[in-house]
């Protein structure tokens, strides 16, 4: 399953918005196959913050850790910094494709 | 009209963008004599660049005066975000202006990240508990690379005591907030707002002065963070971010 982040907006900042985004997407995740990979696509994201990321990516990592890959991460400084911060707080690395 | 570089007159639309307020507000301030414009023979309003710079350098003072006022009046509407959606909307406006600027900084998203984390912290940590005025003061001056945020909330110490009852001072509270991943919203386990802001300053040429209670934290790119006790004690948080 591919999750296109820019469908949630291009400025992904508040904890509350991240929580709501994950809750809204839960329905889609129900159709996920048992071993199906989960790809989170960062194409087009302008600002990505640790609070939003914690609520959305953190929840995905908790539930689908081994199957999760971040794609089109690119060179956006807020995306790169947020991924680094989330890895520090989770004490584990994401699988990342630039 | 004198149009040399130093005394160049700026049209009202550009002046409004520089100050981060609406054209209508500038018109209103002109009519009331609060911030008078220079009128062209055809009636268009212009502003002196020097005066705009002087005015914008006062943003911090305006915020501080609002925080320390005895009355319970909100800030002027253009600087007031009474709710998180309003803050989000104004933050996105600033992001667009930074993105479209002729001298767009490649790391502008880090400025938005830091402002977003600090502004949303104010809302998240005071929801349902605002001592008097709900919401935050948020003003920016793109010309001078200055952003000011303020709230009349409970302050960092009171908030963090939810998770760390042993915290004894504002200085200690700021140190914990900027150095540890901790949530003031226990039993919620996650929390990284101010530590993320410190990571932003370590990554990009941004400086931040953050005051809460009688503590003042100074974060400058390439320097050690400093936290000190101040004479003055303020309720809530008062923040200035500079990126130029």
Contact A78 B112 (CB under 8 A): yes
Whose CA is closest to B44, among B26, B56, B18, B32?
A: B26
**Residue B168, Cβ density class (10 Å: 0-12 exposed, 13-18 middle, ≥19 buried):** exposed
Answer yes or no: is pLDDT of B242 > 80: yes
- Inform me whether the C-beta atom of residue A78 falls under 8 Å from chain B C-beta atoms: yes
Q: Is the dihedral of CA B23, B115, A57, A81 positive or negative?
A: positive
- Inform me whether the C-beta atom of residue B184 falls under 8 Å from chain A C-beta atoms: no
Report pLDDT digits (tens) over B100-120: 987 889 999 999 999 999 999
- Inform me whether the C-beta atom of residue B134 falls under 8 Å from chain A C-beta atoms: no
For residue A47, the chain B residue with the least C-alpha distance is B109
Please report the pLDDT score of residue B53 as a whole number: 66
pLDDT band at residue B56 under the 50/70/90 scheme: low
Using a cut of 0.90, tell me whether the model's pTM lies above it.
no
Please report the pLDDT score of residue B183 as a whole number: 57
Residues of chain A contacting B125 with CB distance shorter than 8 Å: none
- Inform me whether the C-beta atom of residue B172 falls under 8 Å from chain A C-beta atoms: no
Contact B84 A16 (CB under 8 A): yes
Report pLDDT digits (tens) over B186-200: 545 555 679 999 999
Q: Are strands A2-4 and A95-96 parallel, antiparallel or unpaired?
A: unpaired
Please report the pLDDT score of residue B144 as a whole number: 85
Q: Which among B92, B110, B120 has CB closest to A51? A: B120
Query: Which of these ranges, A27-36, A41-50, B159-168, B212-221, has the smallest mean pLDDT?
Result: A27-36
- Inform me whether the C-beta atom of residue B110 falls under 8 Å from chain A C-beta atoms: yes
Please report the pLDDT score of residue B214 as a whole number: 95
């Amino acid at each position: 399953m591919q999750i296109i982040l820019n469908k949630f907006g291009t400025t992904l900042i508040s904890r509350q918005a991240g929580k709501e985004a994950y809750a809204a997407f839960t329905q889609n995740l129900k159709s996920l196959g048992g071993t199906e990979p989960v790809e989170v696509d960062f194409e087009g994201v302008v600002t990505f913050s640790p609070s939003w990321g914690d609520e959305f990516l953190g929840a995905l990592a908790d539930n689908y850790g081994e199957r999760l890959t971040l794609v089109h991460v690119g060179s956006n400084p807020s995306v790169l910094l947020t991924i680094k911060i989330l890895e520090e707080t989770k004490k584990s690395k994401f699988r990342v494709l630039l | 009209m004198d149009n040399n570089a130093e005394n160049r007159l700026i049209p009202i639309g550009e002046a409004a963008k520089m100050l981060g307020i609406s054209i209508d507000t500038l018109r209103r301030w002109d009519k009331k004599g609060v911030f008078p414009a220079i009128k062209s023979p055809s009636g268009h309003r212009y502003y002196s660049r020097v005066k705009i710079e002087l005015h914008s350098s006062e943003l911090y003072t305006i915020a501080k005066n609002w925080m320390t006022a005895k009355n319970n009046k909100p800030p002027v509407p253009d600087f007031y975000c009474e709710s998180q959606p309003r803050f989000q909307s104004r933050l996105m406006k600033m992001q667009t202006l930074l993105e479209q600027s002729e001298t767009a900084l490649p790391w502008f998203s880090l400025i938005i990240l830091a402002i977003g984390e600090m502004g949303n912290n104010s809302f998240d940590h005071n929801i349902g508990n605002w001592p008097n005025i709900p919401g935050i003061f948020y003003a920016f001056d793109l010309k001078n690379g200055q952003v000011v945020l303020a709230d009349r909330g409970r302050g960092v110490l009171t908030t963090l005591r939810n998770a760390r009852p042993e915290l004894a001072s504002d200085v200690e509270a700021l140190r914990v907030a900027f150095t540890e991943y901790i949530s003031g919203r226990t039993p919620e386990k996650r929390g990284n707002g101010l530590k993320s802001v410190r990571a932003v300053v370590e990554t990009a040429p941004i400086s931040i002065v953050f005051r809460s209670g009688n503590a003042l934290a100074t974060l400058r790119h390439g320097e050690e963070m400093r936290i000190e006790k101040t004479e003055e004690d303020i309720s809530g948080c008062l923040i200035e971010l500079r990126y130029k």
